[in-house]
Amino acid sequence: MKSIIAQELVKTYDKGAVKALDGLSLEVEEGTVLGLLGPNGAGKTTTVRVLATLLTPDSGSATVAGIDVLKHPDEVRKIIGLSGQYAALDETLTGWDNLTMFGRLYHLNSAASKKRAEELLEKFSLTDAAKRPIRTYSGGMRRRLDLAASLIVKPKVLFLDEPTTGLDPRGRMEMWDVIDELVKGGVTLLLTTQYLEEADHLADSIAVIDTGKVIARGTADELKNQVGGERLEITVEVDQIAAATKLVELVSGTTPTVDSGIRRISAPVSNGSASLIQVLRLLDDAKIHPLDIGLKRPSLDDVFISLTGHVAEVISEEVVGGKNAAKRK
């Protein structure tokens, strides 16, 4: 069953001059995670706001758990949880105050809202900070409390708008763990992100959006295949670049890309591991000892560039670069 369906959503601003959503459609299967991936200004927040009943689209329709978002927003609000792009909490109040307040607003009685606040603080490792005002919290703690607030009534469908933007790597890892756990609990999740590797890690399927439209969808693997197969990459000493390039060309049958700055030679190959073995033999014969060698599948970064013709975001590039470096070992 589809838990979220959006059809041809259009939302314009400034009398049509800005098209935040330009016929966006998407579907999320019950109990799965959809990663809505796109750069700044792509329309992610607008999509979430429409689905969470905060914004009325100019045209189009949407249902959440089978309920029409435009016709019965009150019903939708009872079964969704929303954690927006910025932690939306009362900064002057404590974590405890915030959670019990939201509990009461979800119409739990006083005792139940306190019990739930306790459970959630425990679950998100915030018990120690419970009695401190939110303004003393770190970015990661705020996001976790914000997420906790959206889980008070165990929503059927959860919307997380850029849950890790602005967090340091540790905060991001903690957030990922928390989200992983939630997903195991069976919630249907729509998650937006600018981080390509975040969608890869957290989402079952991905919808890439740009300028208010879905421009590609599929699993991370499907998207990667869409861009092309594997690439052979080797790194050698500077004085061996020329010789090694000739060998890679011989094996791949195409002209390799050479990045002399990082001494890396790469070329697309069709029969991955066979090519790898072949090139290793040739290098060995030529007495060239590569510093690094491997097959690389295209990253979602590559996917994004090939789909949109532009780079996603400076910040996400860094992260992806770091991750690829780690993967290459």
Partner 1 sequence: MLQSVSDFLVITKRQLLQMIRIPEVLIFATIQPAMFVLLFRYVFGGAIDSGVDGGYVQLLMPGIFVQTVAFTLAATAVGLAADMQKGLIDRFRSLPISRSAVVIGRTVGDTLQNVVTLVVMGLVGFLVGWRPSSGPVKIFLGFLFLLAFGYSMSWIGVLIGLSVREERVAQNLVFMTVFPLTFLSNAFAPTTGMPKVLQYFAEWNPVSTMVAACRELFGTENIFGATANSWPSQNPILMSLIYMILLVAIFAPISVRKYVRVSK
Ligand X SMILES: Nc1ncnc2c1ncn2[C@@H]1O[C@H](COP(=O)(O)OP(=O)(O)O)[C@@H](O)[C@H]1O
x/- site string to Mg ion, residues 67 to 86, per CB under 5 A?
Answer: ------------------x-
Q: Is 123 in the site for partner 1 (CB under 8 A)?
A: no
Residues 41-60 interacting with Mg ion (rule: CB under 5 A): 44-45
CA distance 21 to 25: 10
The Cβ-side half-sphere exposure at 288, using a 13 Å CA radius, reads 24
Q: Is 42 in the site for ligand X (CB under 6 A)?
A: yes
CA distance 268 to 253: 9
Indicate which single residue of 3, 35, 37, 44 sits in contact with ligand X (rule: CB under 6 A). Answer: 44
Residues 66-85 interacting with partner 1 (rule: CB under 8 A): 74, 77-78, 80, 82, 84-85
Q: Report, in angstroms and rounded to the nearest whole number, the Rg of the chain calculated over CA atoms.
A: 24
Residue 298 binding target from partner 1, ligand X, Mg ion, none, CB below 5 to 8 Å by type: none
Indicate which single residue of 18, 58, 91, 136 sits in contact with partner 1 (rule: CB under 8 A). Answer: 91
Q: Is 10 in the site for partner 1 (CB under 8 A)?
A: no
Q: Is 165 in the site for Mg ion (CB under 5 A)?
A: no
CB-count burial class (<10 Å; 0-12, 13-18, 19+) for 105: exposed
Stretch that binds Mg ion, among 40-48, 102-110, 165-173, 227-235 (CB under 5 A): 40-48
Residues 26 and 6: beta-carbon distance below 8 Å: yes
**Nearest-approach distance from CB 165 to Mg ion, in angstroms:** 8
CA distance 274 to 281: 11
Residue with tokens 């459609």: 25
Q: Is 316 in the site for Mg ion (CB under 5 A)?
A: no
Q: What's the order of all strands across the beta sheet hosting 213-218?
A: 80-83, 157-161, 188-193, 33-37, 205-210, 213-218
Q: Is 14 in the site for ligand X (CB under 6 A)?
A: yes
Indicate which single residue of 3, 32, 45, 100 sits in contact with ligand X (rule: CB under 6 A). Answer: 45
Which tokens sit at 96?
């405890």
CA distance 179 to 163: 9
Q: Is 52 in the site for partner 1 (CB under 8 A)?
A: yes
Considering the complex, state which of residue 159 and residue 195 has its C-beta at the smaller distance from partner 1: 159
Residue with tokens 């998100």: 124
Q: Is 315 in the site for ligand X (CB under 6 A)?
A: no
Q: Is 164 in the site for Mg ion (CB under 5 A)?
A: no
Residues linked to residue 237 through DSSP beta bridges, in sequence order: none
Q: Which DSSP symbol is given to 311?
A: -
Q: Is 41 in the site for ligand X (CB under 6 A)?
A: yes
Considering the complex, state which of residue 145 and residue 202 has its C-beta at the smaller distance from partner 1: 145
Site residues for ligand X per CB under 6 A: 13-14, 18, 20, 38, 40-46
